Amino acid sequence: MLIEYYPSESVIHKLDVRTKSICFITITVISFSFFSPLVNLFLVLSLWIILRNINTPLARVKQIIRPLMPVFIIMLLITGLTYSPEKFQMKISKEILFYLLPNKSLPFCLGGLFYGITLVCRIFVMVLASSIITFSTPIEDFLQLMKKMKLPYQMAFIIATGIRFIPTMQKKSEMIQEAQRARGSQIGQGGIIKSIKSYIPVLIPMIVDSLRMSDNLAIAMLSRGFGAMKTTTDLDEIKMHKCDYIISLLSLLILIAALRASSQNIGAL
């Protein structure tokens, strides 16, 4: 999973969580505002360079992307075959690469291929951008951000705790699967029905262990007086610095310029 913090001394790690959130929203909106694959390819390349330079485990990101490769190929084929040349504005997008059926039936349009690349790049943008913000931001900062957004502290704590335990439960799931395989269980093998049934020995210990963890967490929270006071304090308060204000302002200016360019059909197919 991508929801795990990795400490580092990079510039991205030192930025305030609000600055990162503004940049994330800006990148996401820009990615979905342009249909040209060049814009999204530039975003993917930029995010990949940032991810490599902030001392984060790229192998974790590759584990998420690798299983999606067949889906990406299917997306490219579907968009290339289902989008007709008349839907595009640029001359190069209206060109037909080949026909799938005889008598010039079911053409594979170059514009459809470009749009498929754009969709694939948008997925990459979301994965890489979310990886950067979660790898470089402690869960406590997200909790403070939700508190500053006037979200009730109890609700913010539930959301933050749920996010925090996702990688923990994933590791427990891997441990249980390895233990069951050592006992001779064939997990995930066979047909669809057999494959689903093979995960029952994994789900039952996971449910029991999650209930035990939630009970222990509730006891620990009550022993520390959770909910006794209406206001809470934090050990490290999040603060916006000069660099945060500059980057946030630049992000908003870039977002406005991108939306204006998109409204003028710049980057269209």
What is 103-133 written as a DSSP string?
A: TTEEEEEHHHHHHHHHHHHHHHHHHHHHHHH
Q: Is the pLDDT of residue 107 over 50?
A: yes
What percentage of residues in the chain have a pLDDT greater than 70?
Answer: 92
pLDDT digits (tens, 9 = 90+) for 8-26: 788 888 888 889 989 999 9
Token duo for residue 117: 């690349």
pLDDT digits (tens, 9 = 90+) for 168-183: 777 787 888 888 778 7
Name the residue ranges covered by the structural domains of the chain: 1-137+239-269, 143-231
> How many CB atoms neighbour CB 122 within 10 A?
18
More confident residue, 268 or 112: 112
More confident residue, 130 or 267: 130
Query: What's the mean pLDDT in 106-125?
Result: 85
Q: Is the pLDDT of residue 77 over 80?
A: yes
Q: From CA 126, how far away is CA 233, in angstroms rounded?
A: 33
For position 109, what pLDDT does the model report? Answer: 81
Q: How many helices (DSSP H) and strands (DSSP E) are in the chain?
A: 11, 2
Q: Is the pLDDT of residue 42 over 80?
A: yes
Query: What's the mean pLDDT in 232-236?
Result: 65
For position 262, what pLDDT does the model report? Answer: 84
Q: Is the pLDDT of residue 1 over 60?
A: no
